[in-house]
Amino acid sequence: MDFTVLTLFPELIQSFFKHGMILRGIEKKLIDATCVNIRDFSTDRHNTVDDRPYGGGSGMVMKVEPLKAAILSAKKKAPESQVILMTPQGNRFSQKKAWELASKNTGLIFICGRYEGIDERIYTTLVDEELSIGDYVMTGGELASMVIIDSIARLIPGVLGSDESCRSDSFTDDRLEYAQYTRPEVFERQKVPDVLLSGNHEKIRLWRKKSSLERTFLKRPDLFKKTGLSKEEKKIVLQWCQELESLC
């Protein structure tokens, strides 16, 4: 999968590409990651990439010409790529969107805005989608693009050690991930649940299902509004009700 980031702060992105899972993905040739400095596409001798807003007001606006040239150059290398503008006004990024973009596998070009905004005319023909990572405003789209690339890259088969581990991630199927334990078996008098030591795969699967349901109920009940309970989950809830009733 091709990731291209258009930015005025290439060092920020380059260091991200040099570490951890992204680097391993690049080394395994599962990921191609490129960082493009938008300033390289400015045409005047001062390398200008921003200008004062028409109509007055504070701050500077990113100019359309260098940005367009940077996008077209990135598209030349990866013509199928989707162009994504990072902006707090965009659609909210989610785990579902991460899966969607990872499975489309078209290649992604991220535009990281800076200053007060980007000339409106960039939106009309050059941007396929606007994405936001939350309702807060950062000084630029760089951190947001890294958040999105990280969450997509780990879903590409072979990038993580175990493909299974991202299938049980929180938010996949609108549930939080189940509780996890590792050695020691007892820590400050808290013991790992016996079932996890039993070796019985079906019992472990059920326990995890229950744990995931419990956590979602307690921490993110809003997730149930999106999807109702599955047949198996209803059975677990019914069991809880019976257990509670027997306590009364």
Taking the complex as a whole, how short is the minimal distance between the CB of residue 90 and ligand ADE, in angstroms? 6
Catalytic site residue from 2, 32, 130, 169: 169
Answer yes or no: 32 catalytic: no
Answer yes or no: 222 catalytic: no
Using CB under 6 A, list all residues that contact ligand ADE.
Answer: 86-88, 132-134, 136-138, 141, 144
Answer yes or no: 169 catalytic: yes
* Interatomic CA distance for residues 171 and 173, integer angstroms: 6
- The partner residues of 108 in beta bridges, in order of sequence, read 3, 82
Taking the complex as a whole, how short is the minimal distance between the CB of residue 70 and ligand ADE, in angstroms? 17
Question: In terms of CB distance, is 147 or 204 closer to ligand ADE?
Answer: 147
Catalytic site residue from 10, 24, 53, 88: 88
DSSP 57: -
Amino acid code (one letter) for 138: M
Question: In terms of CB distance, is 37 or 87 closer to ligand ADE?
Answer: 87
Answer yes or no: 214 catalytic: no
Question: In terms of CB distance, is 67 or 133 closer to ligand ADE?
Answer: 133
Collect contacts of 175-183 with beta carbons under 8 A, ≥24 apart.
Answer: 175/212, 175/213, 175/216, 175/223, 176/212, 176/215, 176/216, 176/219, 176/220, 176/223, 177/212, 177/215, 178/207, 178/208, 178/209, 178/211, 178/212, 178/215, 179/211, 179/215
Taking the complex as a whole, how short is the minimal distance between the CB of residue 61 and ligand ADE, in angstroms? 15
Catalytic site residue from 116, 130, 150, 214: 116
Order of strands across the sheet that contains 108-112: 32-37, 2-7, 108-112, 82-92, 129-132
Closest CB to ligand ADE: residue number: 144
Taking the complex as a whole, how short is the minimal distance between the CB of residue 134 and ligand ADE, in angstroms? 5
Residues marked active site are found at 88, 116, 154, 169
